[in-house]
Structure 1
Amino acid sequence: MKISARQAASKFIESYFPNCEVAYLAGSVVRGEETESSDLDIIVIDSTVGESYRQSLTEFGWPIEVFVHNMFTYKNFFKENVDRARPSLPQMCAEGIILRDTGHASRIKNEALQLLKAGPTPWRSNEIEKARYHITDLLNDLEGSTNEIEDLFIVSKLADVTHEFVLRVNGHWIGEGKWIIRALKEFDESFADDFAEVFNLYYSSREKAGVIHFVDETIAPYGGRLFEGYSSHAPESAVE
């Protein structure tokens, strides 16, 4: 019989990281969203580790993803997650069940919770303009396209960048994969429902007018489409 997620995670820490300072069990198994394909997300903070890494393996009857850090690298990852607006590590630390604690686990958990509450690094005006320009380009491509197969990929990209746009301009975290709709629901349940309905309708009917209208309405309060007069500069690293 398969042992519980908590038991498996504890045994894993005892076997692989017996001297770590902090360990958390996170993911779907602690959110009550466990499925047949769920794995264990385990975060380890161990001062003897020279650099951060992640590893995938199967132990104690469970697929396990372990994210290993020391007391410095986890802070670097927290900052990187804030800058990209996708708080993977802070989310896991904040929601995680403490498996091992030598006096730092609650502090790191509180640090993660405060970071999540504060939100991501705000977009600057040039970043908003860049996103509007990118969305405009995709909308123009979709309007002019006569190839239904190409449309599939244009619409997929539009869903991604539109979700990112509306969340970033409103100071909210973004998602990836299944976390896109979850992030939208965290922001605005009604908008998330409309978003899902519009893109679901497209994939069932291949009718693109609804997608175009929805995206145009979404970006309209922030200036709408952008083409004429837009310019951007190459990063300094690309100029040398």
Structure 2
Amino acid sequence: MASPRSGGPADAERARDAALRFCDAEYPEATTVILGGSSSTGKRTPTSDIDILLIAPPSTFERRNGSPTSEARVTHHDGERFDVFAYTVEGYREWAERDFASLRPVLPVLLTEGIPLRTGDEFSELRRWSADRLAPGPRPTAHQLALRRYAVTDLIDDLTDAMDELVSAAIRADLLRGLGELALLSSGAWLGSGKWLSRRLRAFDPESADALAAFARERDHREAVRVAAALLDRLGGRVDEDFVR
């Protein structure tokens, strides 16, 4: 039998039960409850929390004395850590639009890919709206992509000249994310952060993911610069000419 947070069907079932108990206790008026993240896929680790997206009436938020349309919080219940995204229908649309504008649609992905534990009248329409917006992928302009290439070019030059160990580490971290995001957008994929950047990159551009992993593990300074520069070449190349940001 699987132990708690060990992954697998039994753990996924425990996560679903815990999510419903939590919502019954904290958000009894919620009409739609979605379980997301690793809890929805049966791939929880010992440090995984339970991601929940819920839709509730305005009275829920008035009662909780928070925003009139939304509440995002991290809390603990029955030995589990919950990452909660709670909205009215209007609040969900507002924050989803912000997600789309940032090119990192966390809420729409959660709604469309998560497991519905409870579905109200609004669920089907919101999921269809979200799916329709997600389907085409991000549409960055040529200038937006060039701006990202410019930023990566600058970071590669900074890394080339970096002498201090801490400075080098900071630049490498920025460069890892900058190259990863550029690769995702160049592949027509929405952005992700942290582990989701690597997961999405593995799914949409495995070659860039392998190159980024090689950059991350490379200890030789000059070789790390070479690997980063080669990946940038694959993604459109350096921006060295005069550039208006």
TM-score norm. by structure 1 comes to 0.86
Contact residue 187 and residue 205 of structure 2 kept, 8 A: no
Q: Alignment RMSD, CA only?
A: 2.1
The equivalences for 1:185-200 within 5 A come to: 185-200=202-217
Aligned equivalent of 1:27, options 37, 47, 50: 37
1:158 and 2:168 equivalent? no
Match of 1:226 in 2: 239
Q: Supply the distance in 2 between the matched residues of 1:227 and 1:70 (Cα, whole angstroms).
A: 47
Deviation at 1:136, TM superposition (A): 1.6
Q: Name whichever of 40-49 and 100-109 sits farther off.
A: 100-109
Contact residue 136 and residue 226 of structure 1 kept, 8 A: yes
Cα–Cα, structure 1 residues 147 and 195, in superposed 2: closer, same or farther, change >3 Å? same
Contact residue 179 and residue 212 of structure 2 kept, 8 A: no
Q: Supply the distance in 2 between the matched residues of 1:162 and 1:185 (Cα, whole angstroms).
A: 14
Aligned equivalent of 1:54, options 44, 61, 72: 72
- Look up the equivalent residue of 1:117 and give its one-letter code: A
Deviation at 1:147, TM superposition (A): 1.9
Deviation at 1:196, TM superposition (A): 0.8
Contact residue 98 and residue 105 of structure 1 kept, 8 A: no
Contact residue 20 and residue 46 of structure 1 kept, 8 A: yes
Deviation at 1:154, TM superposition (A): 0.8
The equivalences for 1:56-75 within 5 A come to: 56-75=74-93
Deviation at 1:138, TM superposition (A): 1.0
Q: Structure 1: which 5+ runs fail to align?
A: 233-240
Superposed CA deviations along residues 16-42 of structure 1, whole A, max 9, x for unmatched, are 222222111112111121112221111
The equivalences for 1:1-240 within 5 A come to: 4-48=14-58, 49=61, 50-120=68-138, 122-200=139-217, 202=218, 205=219, 207-220=220-233, 223-232=236-245
Contact residue 25 and residue 96 of structure 1 kept, 8 A: yes
Give percent identity, aligned residues only: 28
Question: How many residues end up aligned between the 2 structures?
Answer: 227
Q: Supply the distance in 2 between the matched residues of 1:214 and 1:103 (Cα, whole angstroms).
A: 51
Deviation at 1:198, TM superposition (A): 2.5
Deviation at 1:220, TM superposition (A): 2.5
- Look up the equivalent residue of 1:166 and give its one-letter code: A
Where has structure 1 moved over 6 Å in runs of 4 or more?
Answer: none
Superposed CA deviations along residues 63-101 of structure 1, whole A, max 9, x for unmatched, are 111111111111122222122111211121112222222
Q: Name whichever of 107-116 and 140-149 sits farther off.
A: 107-116
